[in-house]
């Protein structure tokens, strides 16, 4: 095999109380990544699509770092060209860098028959997050690899649990710049024990809800975070107004910040997606995706 093309999905991390733990893979948007063996030695990189401000230098590019590390670990000496078509806007709160990292990890696995497990692919992909956010948080890369709903239950060593699921979401991408690094820096290092008790309770409610197809419970608990969302919501102009409107009109099971924002994720009640989309557009005039929870990164073509 000389070339492999993969699709790698956007992801929504945290989901309220699951900070750095919970994640969902979305059907849209996504990146398309093509990895080709080349005659030149080393790694080259090309970017197209929504790639403003993404570095093309391999050592500064999150996906480049992942490919380089896999080449080193497996003594791969030839040349590799990485072509990334960015469908996921960087810095939007939808795991843009994670999608590219997960996509190249999967593509390397296929191109060189490395037989890496999903957990090992997640570990490699999360290395790129160190470049993007200063920390190798894995709550975006895990769903980008596994699909569905994932829980990072331990970091050292990394342990991921996966629940296959499928439900509708409506996601807005307000045109506000928030860097994950800054959105992490505003969070406290310590939390009161009552918040710990609250967030564990709500996280348990979400898992129970997902297993029992009780989206009302899932959504209500998703909105129960008392640690992260209250602080980060201040970074997103009009978020509180939009959230109140969607809930007052009884359109969603839940609505919260996606990852470090500014993306907003909502779980529409039956036949309410269109109305939620209209409210998002009224206030933000921004891209809105009415999509579903879906598959992790997967191969589209190989030759
Ligand atoms: N868990 C990470 C954070 C996700 O909230 O900082 C970043 O998208």
Of residues 62, 150, 180, 291, which has the active-site annotation? 180
Question: Residue of the nearest CA to atom 3 in ligand 1?
Answer: 260
Distance, CA of 269 to CA of 256 (rounded, Å): 15
Q: Is the pLDDT of residue 136 over 90?
A: no
Residue 246: which H helix or E strand, with range?
Answer: helix 239-248
Q: Is 57 a catalytic residue?
A: no
Distance, CA of 26 to CA of 143 (rounded, Å): 9
Q: Which of 10, 99, 184, 232 to mutate to test the pocket of ligand 1 (most atoms within 8 A of CB)?
A: 184
Q: Helix 62-73 to helix 96-111 angle, to the nearest 10 degrees?
A: 30
pTM over 0.85: yes
Q: Is 129 a catalytic residue?
A: yes
Distance, CA of 232 to CA of 130 (rounded, Å): 21
Could you tell me the distance, in angstroms and rounded to a whole number, from the CA of residue 12 to the centre of ligand 1?
9
C-alpha torsion 257→294→19→156, nearest 10: -160
Q: Is the pLDDT of residue 184 over 80?
A: yes
Residues with CB under 6 A from ligand 1: 13-14, 19-20, 93, 95, 137, 139-140, 180, 183-184, 259-260
Residue 181: the pLDDT is 84
Q: Which of 26, 133, 173 to mutate to test the pocket of ligand 1 (most atoms within 8 A of CB)?
A: 133
Rounded to an integer, the average pLDDT of 169-177 is 95
CATH 3.30.230.10 domain extents, the chain = 3-165+293-302
Question: Residue of the nearest CA to atom 4 in ligand 1?
Answer: 259
Q: Can you name the CATH fold of 3-165+293-302?
A: Ribosomal Protein S5; domain 2 (3.30.230)
Indicate which atom in ligand 1 lies nearest the CA of residue 228. 5
Strands, sheet with 252-257, edge to edge from the N-terminal-most edge strand: 252-257, 264-268, 168-172, 288-292
Q: Is the pLDDT of residue 130 over 90?
A: no
CATH 3.30.70.890 domain extents, the chain = 170-290
Instruction: Please determine, looking at this structure, whether the domain spanning 170-290 carries the CATH number 3.40.50.2300.
Output: no
Distance, CA of 250 to CA of 228 (rounded, Å): 24
Of residues 122, 129, 150, 256, which has the active-site annotation? 129
Could you tell me the distance, in angstroms and rounded to a whole number, from the CA of residue 205 to the centre of ligand 1?
21
Please, what is the Cα angle at 191 between 181 and 263, to 5 degrees?
A: 40
- pLDDT tens digits for range 64-122: 999 999 999 999 999 999 999 999 999 899 999 999 999 999 999 999 999 999 999 99
In residues, how long is the chain? 303
Report the DSSP pairing between strands 264-268 and 159-163.
unpaired
26-40: b or e for each residue (b if 16 or more CB lie within 10 Å)? bbbbbbbbbbbeeee
């Amino acid at each position: 095999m000389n070339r492999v093309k993969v699709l790698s999905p956007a992801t929504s991390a945290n989901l309220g109380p699951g900070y750095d733990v919970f994640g969902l893979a979305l059907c849209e948007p996504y990146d398309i990544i093509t990895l080709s063996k080349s005659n030149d030695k080393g790694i080259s990189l090309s970017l197209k699509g929504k790639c403003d401000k993404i570095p093309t230098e391999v050592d500064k590019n999150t996906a480049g770092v992942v490919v380089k590390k896999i080449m080193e670990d497996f003594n791969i000496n030839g040349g590799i060209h990485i072509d990334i078509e960015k469908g996921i806007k960087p810095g939007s709160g939808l795991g843009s860098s994670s999608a590219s990292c997960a996509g190249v990890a999967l593509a390397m696995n296929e191109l060189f028959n490395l037989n890496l497990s999903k957990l090992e692919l997640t570990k490699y992909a999360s290395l790129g997050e160190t470049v993007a956010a200063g920390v190798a948080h894995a709550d975006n890369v895990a769903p980008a690899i596994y699909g569905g709903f994932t829980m990072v239950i331990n970091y050292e060593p990394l342990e991921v649990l996966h629940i296959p699921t499928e439900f509708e979401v409506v996601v807005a991408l307000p045109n506000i710049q928030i860097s994950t690094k800054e959105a992490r820096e505003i969070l406290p290092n310590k939390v009161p024990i009552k918040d710990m008790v609250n967030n564990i309770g709500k996280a348990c409610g979400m898992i129970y809800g997902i297993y029992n197809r009780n989206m009302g419970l899932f959504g209500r608990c998703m909105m129960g975070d008392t640690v992260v969302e209250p602080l980060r919501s201040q970074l997103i102009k009009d978020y509180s107004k939009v959230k109140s409107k969607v809930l007052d009109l009884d359109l969603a099971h839940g609505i919260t910040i996606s990852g470090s924002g500014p993306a907003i994720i909502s779980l529409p009640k039956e036949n309410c997606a269109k109305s939620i989309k209209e409210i998002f557009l009224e206030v933000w005039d921004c891209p809105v995706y009415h999509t579903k929870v879906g598959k992790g990164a997967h191969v589209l073509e190989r030759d």
